[in-house]
């Protein structure tokens, strides 16, 4: 009898010590920063089949559509809670001339998309079509203006065309194209990647150009523009320093972008989206976590020049970049999307939430059929990817109050390297409900996590959801049952203001508490 009691005690102690290193403390009474819903934004470029065949099929298509925009994609994105959409690029933006995309479709000039596949762009999807898409989605439009190959007048007139209610040649032109009232577009990128495909500029030169363009992008009526300066590529801290020093932050621009893609190997060999080993998985997660350092260091620079926090950081291109699927056009950037991509999405969103004092918008690349897409289409068929389900799960954090958390996590180790196994976000919605999202990055081992909600005496577990699969390279494909989706989750034990959560390997969980 005593030996059984001793063994039982040893078991209890072993459980205690195995879980003690995985602990989350949520300070429910200390939150004050809002997690902007725009952190959960999206990006669609004239690239491959993102626009054409993705959203846009034309009014004469047999695929069910409203005004040429396919219904199934719109319905899925609305269900996911898309808050904004950035367009028309990307690199395409700085060679796009918006007047080519208005008026009669039969009279619109064509152009060569020199960045993506060398295909002919017929401009059948332009400003009016994009605004119709945003209207159907219920999403805020984010327009990226052409600073690279365009002119100040061209961008100034685009703003006037979209936003002015006055009598002028631009508003008369808009009305002649079927739109009487202005749309009132708030968010405007002043160029894209001007350190690279947008003109190969130095930060000093771009800062001067950006200030000039900013001067001539005007406010009309009650609408106030939120101008977004082209920010750095990854760890280019000098670019951020120059723009914050020379760019007149807060006046010439109210937001500054950051671009960073997760690439398992390097640009010449990015690796397969579906055929990868644990070494490539570990590298992917490790490089994803580098976003934490990027955000911290760039925000430190911003804080020196903008102590009043007037300028938002916009991570308006991010996500996994793999090699294209075999047999597809290399310039179309079509890649599958696995549970690994879902893990990358969850970690990045947790980091954006963590820095929500500065991070006010983020846009994963890209929404349909390109890079880390939410949706894949083939003819009249549509697939929701694992990344889609992460965004749908994380919808609970939209405009909620960030709750400060302290996390103690065991490590996920591989070949003498290690990363934290646990990633998390806690938030409180306006109705008082607390949502906790937790990811277990370890693909081999389940973890048990103790969670304490300080500031509360008693909690109730309302519901839970989980995203996982048998294999980390599981994906959803056409004509097959979904392998990765949202499922209910209830492996939670509650006691007072604490709970014990048991996460399977390679999983993402959402808990709703009251």
Strands 69-70 and 111-112: unpaired
Q: What is the pLDDT of residue 6?
A: 41
Where residue 14 falls among pLDDT bands split at 50, 70, 90? very low
Whether 193 is catalytic is: yes
The set of residues, in sequence order, having a beta carbon less than 8 Å from that of 179 and lying 6+ positions away, is 128, 131
Q: 3-state secondary structure string, 436-474?
A: EEEEECCCCCCEEEEEEEECCCCCCEEEEEEECCCCCCC
Question: What integer is the mean pLDDT of 322-351?
Answer: 97
Q: What is the pLDDT of residue 385?
A: 98
Q: What are the domain boundaries of the chain?
A: 15-31+403-513, 37-399
Question: What integer is the mean pLDDT of 386-391?
Answer: 98
Catalytic one of 121, 209, 317, 452:
317
Architecture of the CATH domain 37-399: Alpha-Beta Barrel (3.20)
Question: Cα–Cα distance between 350 and 81 in angstroms, integer?
Answer: 17
Question: What is the per-residue DSSP string for 182-218?
Answer: -----EEEE-S-TTTTTT---HHHHHHHHHHHHHHS-
Q: 3-state secondary structure string, 210-249?
A: HHHHHHHCCCCCCCCCEEEECCCECCCHHHHHHHHHHCCE
Q: What is the pLDDT of residue 10?
A: 39
Q: ∠356-431-466 over CA atoms, to 5°?
A: 70
Topology of domain 15-31+403-513 in CATH is Immunoglobulin-like (2.60.40)
* HSE value, Cβ hemisphere, 13 Å, CA-based, for 100: 14
Closest CA to 179 of 219, 223, 129: 129
CB-based contact 239:233 (threshold 8 Å): yes
Q: Do domains 15-31+403-513 and 37-399 have the same CATH topology?
A: no
Lowest mean pLDDT among 49-53, 450-454, 455-459: 455-459
Closest CA to 26 of 473, 424, 440: 424
With H, G, I as helix, E, B as strand and everything else as coil, classify residue 422.
strand
Is the pLDDT at 283 greater than 80, yes or no? yes
Q: Render pLDDT for 193-241 as a digit per residue (tens, 0 to 9).
A: 999 999 999 999 999 999 999 999 999 999 999 999 999 999 999 999 9
Question: What integer is the mean pLDDT of 325-354?
Answer: 97
Q: What is the pLDDT of residue 104?
A: 95
Question: What integer is the mean pLDDT of 176-181?
Answer: 97
- % of the chain exceeding 90 in pLDDT: 94
Query: Tokens for 165?
Result: 């209610």
The region, left, alpha or beta by phi > 0 then psi within -120 to 50, assigned to residue 193 is left
Q: What is the pLDDT of residue 17?
A: 40
Report the mean per-residue pLDDT for the chain: 95
Catalytic one of 121, 193, 209, 452:
193
Question: What integer is the mean pLDDT of 355-362?
Answer: 98
Task: Tell me the CA distances in angstroms from 345 to 194, 205, 338, 342, 472, one per residue in order.
Answer: 26, 34, 11, 5, 14
Where residue 21 falls among pLDDT bands split at 50, 70, 90? confident
Task: Tell me the CA distances in angstroms from 135 to 88, 183, 227, 235, 317, one per residue in order.
Answer: 16, 10, 21, 36, 22
- % of the chain exceeding 70 in pLDDT: 96
With H, G, I as helix, E, B as strand and everything else as coil, classify residue 96.
coil
Q: Render pLDDT for 108-159 as a digit per residue (tens, 0 to 9).
A: 999 999 999 999 999 999 999 999 999 999 999 999 999 999 999 999 999 9
Strands 255-262 and 226-229: parallel
Q: Render pLDDT for 370-384 as a digit per residue (tens, 0 to 9).
A: 999 999 999 999 999
Q: Render pLDDT for 69-115 as a digit per residue (tens, 0 to 9).
A: 999 999 999 999 999 999 999 999 999 999 999 999 999 999 999 99
Helix (H) / strand (E) element for 112: namely strand 111-112
pTM for this entry: 0.94
Q: What is the pLDDT of residue 15?
A: 40
Where residue 189 falls among pLDDT bands split at 50, 70, 90? very high
Question: Cα–Cα distance between 132 and 170 in angstroms, integer?
Answer: 19
Q: What is the pLDDT of residue 7?
A: 40
């Amino acid at each position: 009898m005593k030996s059984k009691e001793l063994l039982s005690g040893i078991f209890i102690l072993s459980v205690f010590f195995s879980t003690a290193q995985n602990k989350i403390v949520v300070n429910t009474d200390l939150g004050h920063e809002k997690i902007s819903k725009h952190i959960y934004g999206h990006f669609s470029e004239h690239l491959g089949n993102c626009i054409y065949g993705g959203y846009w099929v034309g009014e004469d298509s047999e695929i069910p559509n409203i005004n040429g925009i396919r219904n199934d994609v719109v319905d899925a994105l609305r269900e996911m809670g898309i808050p904004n959409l950035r367009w028309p690029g990307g690199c395409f933006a700085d060679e796009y001339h918006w007047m080519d995309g208005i008026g009669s479709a039969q009279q619109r000039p064509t152009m060569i998309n020199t960045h993506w596949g060398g295909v002919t762009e017929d401009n059948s999807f332009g400003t009016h079509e994009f605004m119709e898409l945003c209207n159907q989605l219920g999403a805020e439009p984010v327009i990226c203006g052409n600073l690279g190959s365009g002119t100040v007048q061209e961008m100034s007139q685009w703003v006037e065309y979209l936003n002015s209610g006055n009598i002028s040649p631009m508003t008369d032109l808009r009305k002649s194209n079927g739109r009487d009232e202005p749309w009132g577009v708030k968010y405007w990128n002043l160029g894209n990647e001007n350190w690279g495909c947008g003109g190969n500029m130095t930060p000093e030169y771009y800062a001067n150009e950006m200030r000039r363009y900013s001067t001539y992008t005007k406010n009309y009526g009650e609408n106030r523009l939120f101008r977004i300066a082209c920010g750095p590529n990854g760890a280019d801290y000098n670019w951020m320093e120059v723009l914050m020093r020379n760019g007149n932050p807060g006046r010439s621009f109210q937001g500054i972008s950051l671009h960073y893609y997760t690439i398992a190997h390097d640009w010449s060999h990015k690796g397969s989206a579906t055929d990868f080993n644990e070494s490539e998985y570990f590298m992917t997660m490790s490089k994803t976590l580098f976003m934490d350092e990027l955000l911290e260091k760039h925000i430190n620079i911003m804080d020196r020049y903008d102590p009043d926090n007037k300028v938002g950081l916009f991570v308006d291109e991010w996500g996994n970049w793999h090699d294209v699927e075999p047999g597809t056009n290399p310039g179309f950037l079509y890649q599958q999307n696995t549970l690994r991509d879902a893990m990358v999405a969850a970690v990045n969103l947790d980091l954006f939430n963590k820095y929500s004092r500065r991070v006010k918008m983020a846009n994963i690349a890209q929404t349909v059929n390109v890079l880390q897409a939410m949706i894949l289409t083939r003819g009249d068929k549509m697939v929701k990817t694992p990344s889609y389900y992460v965004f749908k799960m994380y919808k609970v954090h939209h405009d909620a109050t960030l709750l400060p958390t302290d996390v103690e996590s065991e490590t996920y180790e591989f070949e003498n390297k290690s990363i934290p196994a646990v990633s998390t976000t806690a938030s409180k919605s306006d109705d008082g409900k607390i949502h906790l999202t937790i990811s277990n990055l370890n693909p081999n081992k389940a973890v048990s996590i103790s969670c304490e909600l300080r500031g509360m005496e008693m909690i109730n577990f309302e519901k839970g959801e989980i995203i996982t699969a048998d294999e980390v390279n599981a994906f959803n494909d056409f004509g097959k049952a979904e392998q990765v989706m949202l499922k209910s989750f209830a492996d939670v034990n509650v006691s007072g203001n604490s709970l014990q959560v048991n996460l399977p390997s390679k999983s993402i969980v959402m808990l709703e508490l009251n």
